[in-house]
Amino acid sequence: MNAVILLGPPGAGKGTVAGVLVDHGCEHVSTGQLLRDEIAKGTALGLEAKELIDRGQFVSDDTVIGMVRELFASTESDTTFLFDGFPRTLVQAEELDKMLQALGGRVLQVVLLDCPDEVIVERLSGRRTCKKCGTVYHLAYNAPLREDHCDADGCALIQRVDDQVGTIRQRLDIYVNQTEPLIHYYEAKGLIERVDATQSIEHVRDAVSSKLG
């Protein structure tokens, strides 16, 4: 069992380029989506996660590592995972190495999406989400036909708490403190491939594809 890691600040476009890596044979795993599923189900984990996410914070290392350990236990041994949003901390990265080594695998590559803070803030703060179907719009790049209403079902659009400027800046601060050290960790292993994420989606996808083996 092996892993490819998609690394970068919130809003850098990790989810957007994940499809490129899936096309190269990876199984996409978004820990953020796993947590959102728990929130939607109203589980104890979901309620705890929602409180932290609303404050622009991350869930504990132990919780996330436990989710990944369960994922490994229920998956075929020849799988190559694409991790989007994991690891976020050095503790998580070190535990991921241990889990993979125990299964005879390793981290194959780390794709780093570089993107300045101001671009991140502009991208995320412009997002609006349909309360009913979950469709995401952007006021500048993908605006709805009718202001503040979903094209599909006419429901009101909302700005999620984690898309508000204050929360975005909190998330970026946490990224600098907790996640940026991973860049040095993986650089020391010779695994980092950098991509300029300020380019168009098409250019970023092409750049990611060109860096894959």
Catalytic residue selected from 50, 123, 127, 128: 127
Q: Judge whether 55 counts as a catalytic residue.
A: no
CATH annotation of 2-115+174-211: 3.40.50.300
The verdict on whether 127 is a catalytic residue reads yes
171 noted as active-site residue: yes
**Tens digits of residue pLDDT in 64-87:** 888 788 788 888 888 999 998 889
Average pLDDT, the chain: 88
Q: Which of 88, 123, 128, 205 is catalytic?
A: 88
Q: Which residue among 50, 123, 171, 205 is the active-site one?
A: 171
Q: Which of 36, 160, 169, 194 is catalytic?
A: 160
Given 14, 123, 128, 205, the catalytic residue: 14
Looking at residue 203, what DSSP letter applies?
Answer: H
Given pLDDT bands bounded at 50, 70 and 90, which one contains residue 4? very high
pLDDT per residue as tens digits for the range 24-75: 888 988 887 778 777 888 877 778 778 877 877 777 888 888 878 878 888 8
Residue 151 β-bridge partners: none
Q: What are phi and psi of 127, to 5 degrees?
A: -80, 140
